[in-house]
Amino acid sequence: MEKQLNQIQIDAEKDIKESSSLDQLLEVEKKYLGKKGSLKAILSQIKDLSIEEKKAFGKLSNQIKVVLNELIFKQKKLIEDQEIQNQLQNEFLDVTLPSIETQKGSTHVLKQVQKKLEEIFINLGFEVVDGPEVESEKHNFEDLNIPQSHPARDMYDTFFIDQKTEKYNRLLLRTHTSPVQIRQMLKQGAPIKVLIPGRTFRYEEADATHEHTFMQYEGLYIDKDISLSHLKGYIEEIFGQFFGSKIEVRFRPGFFPFTEPSLEFEISCPFCEKGCKVCKQTKYIELGGCGMVHPNVLKAAGVDPEKFQGFAFGGGLDRLAMLITQTNDLRLFRQNDLRFLKQF
């Protein structure tokens, strides 16, 4: 029996040392020291021995148990250390490796132009305001002196929305930023000095200079004793700053239902002195429309035209962007082709 015990110890020691994982080691532990293990099995034979032999046998088997437990403990530590080493090697993170290049975004060119314009207006005492893109027919047309039957409605190919509200009978996508004039005057009254930039929509076929979605800006200044000469001065100052050169402004008669008189404004070409491609050799560039705000518009917005008067002027923000980026096709701004957008 002593031989058997010694053999168990030899086998167990070998198995323990050959264990390379914790699972494997646990199996070995069970095999030799477990409830159904070899040591227990041999102990079941103890009852047939003499007392002396029982004692000796018990002592030996205990010694073996202690030795094996110690070996298992050491092997366990060894395996754990090895696993940590492996992990460190496999999951090694080299912080000095160059990172994968990330794509950097930038402000869209139209937004850049808008910001530039806003800064100039703000410095001249204007407040920047906005209104909803889904507008009522009332604010978009009627309040701006364009009643249902007015022939000027033909100027605006409108996207109507097939939905009614309790307050307004018909909704549409605003065809210009001017309804914000009404909203803002109703809100704050007069005097008022605001810049309204924003998206507008018309049912138009797209070509190099037309889009169904485009951006407008307009300035509104209502106070006591405001005249056309103030308007001329502001346009001169604003676009002089915008194009970074001294410019001249000239007016031509125009027609808009919401201004009286109505004018179109042109500025001397900021890109040349003797004529160039941009101004089509005319030395002047058409920039937008303007005029003194019609008394009917002031009334619709709750402002007394006997006490207050003022001007409004505006145009296409897309057009300004085309001019300063020397882009000849408006559609490029919204096609989101990075090759184009990255240039600005």
Residues contacting residue 148 through CB under 8 Å, at least 6 positions apart: 141, 142
The helix (run of H) or strand (run of E) holding residue 262 is strand 259-268
The minimum distance between CB 267 and Zn ion, in angstroms, equals 11
Q: Does 320 bind Zn ion (CB under 5 A)?
A: no
284 binds Zn ion (CB under 5 A): no
Q: Does 279 bind Zn ion (CB under 5 A)?
A: yes
Q: Are 71 and 15 in contact (CB under 8 A)?
A: no
For the CB of residue 250, give the shortest distance to Zn ion in the complex, in Å. 14
The distance of closest approach from Cβ of residue 270 to Zn ion in the complex, given in angstroms and rounded to an integer, is: 8
Choose the binding region for Zn ion from 3-11, 98-106, 229-237, 264-272 (rule: CB under 5 A): 264-272
Residue in 228, 264, 241 with CA at minimum distance from that of residue 324: 241
User: Which CB atom, from 133 or from 236, has the smaller least distance to Zn ion?
Assistant: 236
* 6/245 with CB nearer Zn ion: 245
3-class secondary-structure state, position 182: helix
Residue 271 touching Zn ion (CB under 5 A): yes
* Residue 275 burial (CB count, 10 A): 14
Q: Which residue has the tokens 């096709």?
A: 329
130 CA to centre of own chain: 19
| CB nearer to Zn ion: pick between 191 and 244 | 244
Tally of CB atoms within 10 A around 213: 15
Give, to the nearest 10 degrees, the angle between helix 22-33 and helix 2-18: 170
Segment near Zn ion (CB under 5 A), from 23-31, 56-64, 230-238, 266-274? 266-274
Contacts of 150 (CB under 8 A, 6+ apart): 141, 257
By CB under 5 A, name the one of 122, 272, 299, 307 that touches Zn ion.
272
Say how many residues touch Zn ion, by CB under 5 A: 6
Query: Which window, 108-116, 134-142, 229-237, 274-282, contacts Zn ion (CB under 5 A)?
Result: 274-282
Check binding of 282 to Zn ion (CB under 5 A): no
Give whichever of 278 and 332 is closer to Zn ion, judged by the CB atom: 278
**Does residue number 280 form part of the binding site for Zn ion (CB under 5 A)?**
no
CA dihedral over 205, 206, 210, 211, signed as positive or negative: positive
Closer Cβ to Zn ion, 222 or 279, answer by number: 279
Q: Output 255 or 271, the one with its CB closest to Zn ion.
A: 271
Taking the complex as a whole, the smallest distance from the CB of residue 297 to Zn ion amounts, in Å, to 35
Q: How far is 168 from 92, CA to CA, in rounded Å?
A: 66
**25 in contact with Zn ion (CB under 5 A):** no
Longest dimension (CA), the chain: 132
> Per DSSP, what are the bridge partners of residue 251?
265
Binding flag, residue 276, Zn ion (CB under 5 A): yes
Choice between 141 and 243, CB closer to Zn ion? 243
Q: Provide, rounded to whole angstroms, the least separation between the CB of residue 266 and Zn ion.
A: 12
* Residue-wise burial string across 315-329, b where 16 or more C-beta atoms lie within 10 A, e elsewhere: bbbbbbbbbbbebee
Binding of residue 269 to Zn ion (CB under 5 A): yes
Give the shortest CB-281-to-Zn ion separation in angstroms.
7
Place of tokens 């001019």: 323
Residues that bind Zn ion (CB under 5 A): 269, 271-272, 276, 278-279
